[in-house]
Structure 1
Amino acid sequence: MIETKALSPHLGVEVTGVEDLLEDTTISRCAEALKWRGVLLVRGLHLDDEAQLAFSRKLGEVVTLGGSEIFKVSLDPSKNPAAEYLKGTFHWHLDGTTDKVPIKTTTLTARHVAMVGGGTEFSSTYAAYENLPEQDRKRYEGLRVVHSLEAAQRLVHPDPTEEQVALWRRAPTHENPLVWQRRDGRRSLVIGATADHIVGLEPAESRAVLDELLTWSTQERFRYSHEWQVGDLVMWDNTGMLHRALRYDPSSERTLHRTTIFGDEAFA
């Protein structure tokens, strides 16, 4: 029998008793838990790529990257040519902030784990917004933020070459609401490493507001830190859950297999 247990007060649920991951009732319960708790964990599933894809397709259309629906998360360039880019994931971020419609859901399965570090942290921007003082909600209402790849990569390479900057600036930017009112009535914050600047504010004030909000949103009470075990399946609502990888040795065998699900709600 399927049972659920909260992983932290504001987000996350562990699901146990799963016998058939693809059964309609299981999919429905997982989707409902994911909507309201943001992060879902099932330990010990040991899904292969075929099973992970079959499950992901029950949730929506799977994104193809580089010709594959499975993306290998590894800092080993022989496993992932984008290993250098993945160092940006050590900073709090949402995926798809430079797209009109962000990625909806991400799934990860653990194939190898790091001996030291390598966990994944999540933080709920729904809970962060809901707990803001009323005067701060009014302060942030209506503000718009430009998101860019350059903003995120400058955290990894604070003194970039001209070639690096030129490469980053080839990627599209996108202007999003700071407070995103969702079609279900809930509100979340669109912040993180890609948040470059707030439209209409002086650079110093803009950076101060974004840094202040990120610090607020990632405080311990809104967070869940996951320590990986081989065979884990973790999935999350990418539209509202900030996430980051905890640092680990690049020579580590840590390897996660990822699928991403197309979104169905554009930024307002």
Structure 2
Amino acid sequence: MIESKALSPSLGVEFTGVTDPLDDAFVHRATEALKWRGVLLVRGLHLDDERQLAFSRALGEVVALRGQEIFPISVNPAKSTSAKYLKGAFHWHLDGTSDDIPVKATTLTARHVATVGGGTEFASTYAAYENLPEKKRERYESLRVVHSFEAAQRLVNPDPSEQELAAWRTQPSHEAALVWRRRDGRRSLVTGTTADHIVGMDPDDSRALLDELLDWSTQERFRYTHDWEVGDLVVWDNTGILHRALPYDETSERLLHRTTVVGDEAFA
């Protein structure tokens, strides 16, 4: 019998008793959990790549990144060719903020875990918006933000070479509303470390407001911290859940396998 419990007051559901993640009833419950709670967890499921892909496809179309549907997540260069850029994941972000339509969901399975550190934190931008004081909601309603890959990478490497800067700038920037009016009637905040500046605002004031908003959105009452165990499956709604990895040594054996589900709702 499948049972569930909240991971925190503001977000997340942990399912127990799952024997077949492809069962239609469980897929339906997982989809509802993602919509209303943002993060779902099944411990000890030990999905191989084939089963992880099959479950991901039950949620939607899977992104093929450079021809790969399974993407290794590690800051160890021996385990991932993207290890250098993945250090940006130590900071709060949404994936796909430089795209017109962000990715809908992400799945992660744990193959190896770090001895020290290496957890993953999640924060609900739905809850962050819903708990804003009315005056701040009114202030943020009309603001638009430019997001860029460069903004996130500068936190990792604040003094890039000309070559590194040129590489970052091959990734397009994207303008989006700060308050995303969702088609289901809810609203969430589009924020994170890719948020470069607020359109038409003084740069210093823009930076101060974006920093203040990120601090608000990631406070403890809107957050869940996941400590990985081998075999865990974690899935989250990338459109409304900020996430970040907690630091761990780049020589660590920590390795997660990721799939990404194609989005279907454009930024406002």
User: Shorter-chain TM-score: which interval?
Assistant: over 0.9
Identity %: 74
What residue is the counterpart of 2:68 in the other structure? 68
Give 4+ residue runs of structure 1 displaced > 2 Å after superposition: none
What residue is the counterpart of 1:134 in the other structure? 134
What residue is the counterpart of 2:256 in the other structure? 256
What residue is the counterpart of 2:54 in the other structure? 54
Total equivalences in the alignment: 268
- TM-score if structure 1 supplies the norm length? 0.99
Offset, 1:210: 0.3
Give a deviation string over 1:73-101, Cα, whole Å, max 9, x none.
Answer: 01122221110000000000000000000
Offset, 1:161: 1.4
Structure 2: any 5+ residue segments left out of the alignment?
A: none
- Determine if the alignment matches structure 1 residue 106 to structure 2 residue 115: no
What does residue range 1-268 of structure 1 map to in structure 2 within 5 Å?
Answer: 1-268=1-268
Amino acid at match of 2:150: E
Partners of 2:250 and 2:19 in 1: CA distance: 36
Partners of 2:31 and 2:173 in 1: CA distance: 30
Partners of 1:160 and 1:55 in 2: CA distance: 39
Partners of 1:90 and 1:24 in 2: CA distance: 35
Partners of 2:14 and 2:34 in 1: CA distance: 10
Partners of 2:250 and 2:40 in 1: CA distance: 27
Offset, 1:164: 1.4
- CA-atom RMSD in angstroms: 0.6
Offset, 1:150: 0.6
Amino acid at match of 1:66: R
Offset, 1:166: 1.4
Partners of 1:183 and 1:140 in 2: CA distance: 19
Partners of 2:263 and 2:213 in 1: CA distance: 25
SS of residue in 1 equivalent to 2:45: coil
Partners of 1:17 and 1:76 in 2: CA distance: 34
Give a deviation string over 1:55-81, Cα, whole Å, max 9, x none.
Answer: 000000000012110000011222211
Offset, 1:165: 1.3
Give a deviation string over 1:113-138, Cα, whole Å, max 9, x none.
Answer: 00000000000000000000000000
Partners of 1:116 and 1:80 in 2: CA distance: 19
Partners of 1:49 and 1:214 in 2: CA distance: 34
Amino acid at match of 1:121: E
Offset, 1:10: 0.2
SS of residue in 2 equivalent to 1:252: coil
Partners of 1:197 and 1:163 in 2: CA distance: 23
Partners of 1:247 and 1:227 in 2: CA distance: 12
